[in-house]
Amino acid sequence: MQKRIGMIWTVVLLLHLTCKADEGMWIPLLLKKYNIEEMQRQGFRLTAEDVYDINRASLKDAVIGLGREGRPFFHFCTAELISREGLLITNHHCAYSLIQAHSTLTDNYLEHGFWAYDRADELENPGITASILVRIEDVTPQIAGALTAGMDEAERTKTVADISRKLEEEAVKGTDLQANVKPYFNGNQYFMSVFRIYRDVRLVGAPPSAIGKFGGDTDNWSWPRHTGDFAFLRIYAGQDNEPAPYSPENVPYRPATHFKIATQGAKEGDFTFVFGYPATTREYLTSFAIEQLVEVENPHRTAIRTAKLNIINQAMNSDPLLRLKYSAKAAGVANTWKKWQGETKGLLRFGTVEQKRRLEARFRTWATGRTPYDSVVDRYRAVYQKRKELVLADAYAQEAGLGGAEIVSFARSLTGRLAEITENDLLPEAIRQTIRTFFKDYDVATDRKILEEMLKLYNLQLPDEWKPEAVAEAGKNSGYHLYTEQFFHQSVFADSTRLLACLDRWKGTALQEKLKKDPAYLLAASVADFRLLRINPPLQEIERQLRELDRVWLTGLMEMQPEKRFYADANSTLRVAYGKIGGYSPADGIFYKPFTTLSGILEKENPAIYDYQVPQKLKELYRSKDFGPYAQDGEVPVCFIASNHTTGGNSGSPVLNADGHLIGVNFDRAWDGVMSDLQYEPSICRNISVDIRYILFIVDKLAGAGHLIREMELIE
């Protein structure tokens, strides 16, 4: 027995030592210090300065963080420049809501695709921003210098915020740049990113959903995959090439550099790296946190969304108009829903809780007699114990309450905005627009069913003390069905004509009084107040304690393992991940190859299943073997997997070869390794990319958009 355990440990250790290289999302500024030698040993042919340099053009100048006005430092996706004229490539799913917003049943770009054959046809997307990183600076010394040992957590947070703001202001004074300081390593270090943020980003091209979303939510988060998940955008700038709000006078942005296209693609075993904006990982959580995630947060949030999705999917399958209205919303709900399930599965399979417990036991021994480390594990346990019922209550407040039926959040946000309008004001056009946009994609019957289900679940799953009053009331008398019917009958937010008539008739306080008696507003307010008064105060106190514990814990881990190379959790800042193209074994007896091909699309084809429909034109190209120069050994490669450590936000990231040329666009991770946000397992964690050869093939042969290819710089 002894011997066997010893053997297992040797194997585990070896795996860690040999494969560790694929794990991590690295700060471009520090590549030279921590990574470049290893990258070059693995085949990389460029220097650290080729990737990141502030004195001359480097690859970082071609990586774009896509954001939204008002929240530009949160990058919902990545994109990359691939021409001298501001052409961007990203994922179809990143541009999905833009494509959807431009679509109607007659011009259904979501279904048929969209291609601007003329610059004048490229479509404006209000509110979308494109950030280009100018530089990153380590500002840890400035921040640490202002912190003292005796500071409590609240004081510390305030000091950090104050200094960050000052540093940000100083960094961009007299320029039109924008700066943002963020914590790294649980607040042990701070870096400032300085950006130039463009505000005129247009839609240039997108394949039909049967290509761009082929496999849909059925294949989402899984491999083998055949999704042509790409779309083209373009950055426009003022005449001076600087950021400017949308204007027909704007001209295509002329970048410092752009990615060249590796038309030969890549092959198994090749070195690859991914350069983009991963949003959130939590690799240094304790066993207590993982346990809570697996037992409370993930299963409850998943169950609420299952109920929602059952209703939405039924509606979408019943009517093409409902499909169009709900497709973007459903994709969002389903995406995280599925990810939670894969994550839980992986964490259980790899015994993450057990592994973390072993680490904590080791830490405890090491920490004996070393304050403040000696008490950390016990304090963690106590805090998570208190956190449990709060995160459960909050999951329902968020997912079933405010984020349940759409009418609830709509009533709340609209009433809030209307409060600023006095008796004498006309209804602002912006509010009219919000109302039009909301109802364009709204279906009362579907939302009513969702509300009924949400209220049912909320009441069923939570103890009374965690139910907001309006939720508890809802099921008491006539039952949920009748209750929701009356609710929708009464609510002015359920019908745009009634709503607009009401807004034209009433103003100011009279209007507020009226709206605040509306059942949708009352439900929203009840849940929101409950969060504000009952959930948030204790939860925020717990989060404060966790912030401190997380910081001390990670400092301790670093002291305990001085030989280990730590990387900072993803925080929506620019990172480099590297690995190589290769398959994996999801289960005994199965091995997944790293590439899929066009033949696989035809194998999956099933006209009876929406997700597996194949456009006629693609079938014709396949049959006539009209592959142009894009095939290899008689097959067009479609997607590939590699061991780059990526996460949400990395969607659309450039996947590059050893020379820094584009071989694909990242868009997903494979099911068995989705827990990599919490624990990376080199044997099975894989990122999924769409092969650049498939992209070129579709653009050229299916869309006839050769003008886009001629803009690119192709490397044979």
**Residue matched to tokens 């006629």:** 616
- 221 sits near ligand ARG (criterion: CB under 6 A): yes
Under 8 Å between Cβ of 570 and 281:
yes
Residues 6+ apart with CB under 8 A from 363: 373, 376, 377, 556, 557, 560
Tokens of 431: 């509010």
175 DSSP 8-state letter: S
**Residue matched to tokens 């139910």:** 467
- 342 sits near ligand ARG (criterion: CB under 6 A): no
Measured from the CB atom, is 334 or 598 closer to ligand ARG?
334
* Bridge partners (DSSP) listed for residue 88: 81, 233
The CB-of-592 to ligand GLU minimum distance in angstroms stands at 17
Number of neighbours of residue 688 by Cβ within 10 angstroms: 25
User: What span, in angstroms and rounded, lies between the C-alpha atoms of 530 and 386?
Assistant: 18
Measured from the CB atom, is 446 or 644 closer to ligand GLU?
644
Question: Which of 93, 226, 645, 661 is an active site residue?
Answer: 93
Q: Is residue 651 among the annotated active site residues?
A: yes
The CB-of-143 to ligand GLU minimum distance in angstroms stands at 29
Measured from the CB atom, is 58 or 651 closer to ligand ARG?
651
In 2-139, which ranges are continuous DSSP H helix?
2-19, 31-34, 36-41, 48-51, 92-102, 109-112
Phi, psi of 178 (to 5 degrees): -130, 140
| Among the listed residues 142, 335, 375, 545, the single contact to ligand ARG using CB under 6 A | 335
Question: Which of 209, 222, 651, 653 is an active site residue?
Answer: 651
The CB-of-221 to ligand GLU minimum distance in angstroms stands at 8
Tokens of 189: 């270090």
The CB-of-605 to ligand GLU minimum distance in angstroms stands at 24
Tokens of 342: 């894969």
Q: Tell me which H or E stretch contains 591.
A: strand 590-592
- 649 sits near ligand ARG (criterion: CB under 6 A): no
Contact partner, 649, from ligand GLU, ligand ARG, none, Cβ < 5-8 Å per class:
ligand GLU
Contact partner, 216, from ligand ARG, ligand GLU, none, Cβ < 5-8 Å per class:
ligand ARG
Tokens of 92: 């179809």
Nearest to 47 by CA among 653, 714, 658, 642: 658
The CB-of-96 to ligand GLU minimum distance in angstroms stands at 10
Under 8 Å between Cβ of 277 and 75:
yes
Instruction: Considering only the stretches 148-156, 329-337, 430-438, 538-546, report the one whose residues sit in contact with ligand ARG under the rule CB under 6 A.
Output: 329-337
The CB-of-524 to ligand GLU minimum distance in angstroms stands at 29
- Tell which positions 351-390 bind ligand ARG, by CB under 6 A: none
In 52-103, which ranges are continuous DSSP H helix?
92-102
Measured from the CB atom, is 335 or 375 closer to ligand ARG?
335
Q: Among all residues, whose Cβ is closest to ligand GLU?
A: 651
- 661 to 680: interface string for ligand ARG, x by CB under 6 A: ------xx------------
The CB-of-647 to ligand GLU minimum distance in angstroms stands at 5
User: What span, in angstroms and rounded, lies between the C-alpha atoms of 515 and 224?
Assistant: 51
Q: Is residue 222 among the annotated active site residues?
A: no
Q: Is residue 16 among the annotated active site residues?
A: no
Measured from the CB atom, is 139 or 574 closer to ligand GLU?
574
Question: Which of 200, 229, 550, 677 is an active site residue?
Answer: 229
- 341 sits near ligand ARG (criterion: CB under 6 A): no
Burial of 161 (0-12, 13-18, 19+ CB in 10 A): exposed
Contact partner, 530, from ligand ARG, ligand GLU, none, Cβ < 5-8 Å per class:
none
Long-range CB contact pairs, 350-355, < 8 A, 24+: 350/675, 350/679, 350/681, 352/287, 352/290, 352/675, 352/678, 352/679, 353/287, 353/290, 353/291, 353/294, 354/287, 355/679
The CB-of-269 to ligand GLU minimum distance in angstroms stands at 22
- 334 sits near ligand ARG (criterion: CB under 6 A): yes
95 DSSP 8-state letter: H
Contact partner, 650, from ligand ARG, ligand GLU, none, Cβ < 5-8 Å per class:
ligand GLU
Contact partner, 631, from ligand GLU, ligand ARG, none, Cβ < 5-8 Å per class:
none
Contact partner, 646, from ligand ARG, ligand GLU, none, Cβ < 5-8 Å per class:
ligand GLU
The CB-of-602 to ligand GLU minimum distance in angstroms stands at 25
Contact partner, 647, from ligand ARG, ligand GLU, none, Cβ < 5-8 Å per class:
ligand GLU
The CB-of-647 to ligand ARG minimum distance in angstroms stands at 9
Measured from the CB atom, is 221 or 530 closer to ligand ARG?
221
Measured from the CB atom, is 191 or 667 closer to ligand ARG?
667
The CB-of-222 to ligand GLU minimum distance in angstroms stands at 12
- Tell which positions 77-136 bind ligand ARG, by CB under 6 A: 93
Q: Which residues of 125-150 are buried (b: 16+ CB within 10 A; e: fewer)?
A: beebbbbbbbbbbebeebbeeeeeee
- 651 sits near ligand ARG (criterion: CB under 6 A): yes
Under 8 Å between Cβ of 313 and 330:
yes
In 244-297, which ranges are continuous DSSP H helix?
287-292
Nearest to 278 by CA among 578, 667, 71, 571: 571
Instruction: Considering only the stretches 103-111, 120-128, 213-221, 691-699, report the one whose residues sit in contact with ligand ARG under the rule CB under 6 A.
Output: 213-221
Nearest to 329 by CA among 431, 400, 404, 233: 404
User: What span, in angstroms and rounded, lies between the C-alpha atoms of 354 and 365?
Assistant: 17
**Residue matched to tokens 């003008």:** 707
Contact partner, 331, from ligand ARG, ligand GLU, none, Cβ < 5-8 Å per class:
ligand ARG
| Among the listed residues 86, 207, 216, 224, the single contact to ligand ARG using CB under 6 A | 216
User: What span, in angstroms and rounded, lies between the C-alpha atoms of 365 and 17?
Assistant: 23
**Helix 376-396 to helix 352-367 angle, to the nearest 10 degrees?**
150
User: What span, in angstroms and rounded, lies between the C-alpha atoms of 144 and 611?
Assistant: 52
Number of neighbours of residue 54 by Cβ within 10 angstroms: 15
Instruction: Considering only the stretches 210-218, 321-329, 469-477, 564-572, report the one whose residues sit in contact with ligand ARG under the rule CB under 6 A.
Output: 210-218
Q: How big is the site for ligand ARG, counted in residues (CB under 6 A)?
A: 13
Under 8 Å between Cβ of 628 and 613:
no
Contact partner, 42, from ligand ARG, ligand GLU, none, Cβ < 5-8 Å per class:
none
Under 8 Å between Cβ of 181 and 139:
yes
Tokens of 25: 């999302």
Measured from the CB atom, is 65 or 216 closer to ligand ARG?
216
Measured from the CB atom, is 438 or 610 closer to ligand ARG?
610
- 217 sits near ligand ARG (criterion: CB under 6 A): yes
Measured from the CB atom, is 360 or 668 closer to ligand ARG?
668
Q: Which residues bind ligand GLU (CB under 6 A)?
A: 77, 646-651, 667-669
Active site (catalytic) residues:
93, 229, 651
Site for ligand ARG, rule CB under 6 A: 93, 213, 216-217, 220-221, 331, 334-335, 648, 651, 667-668
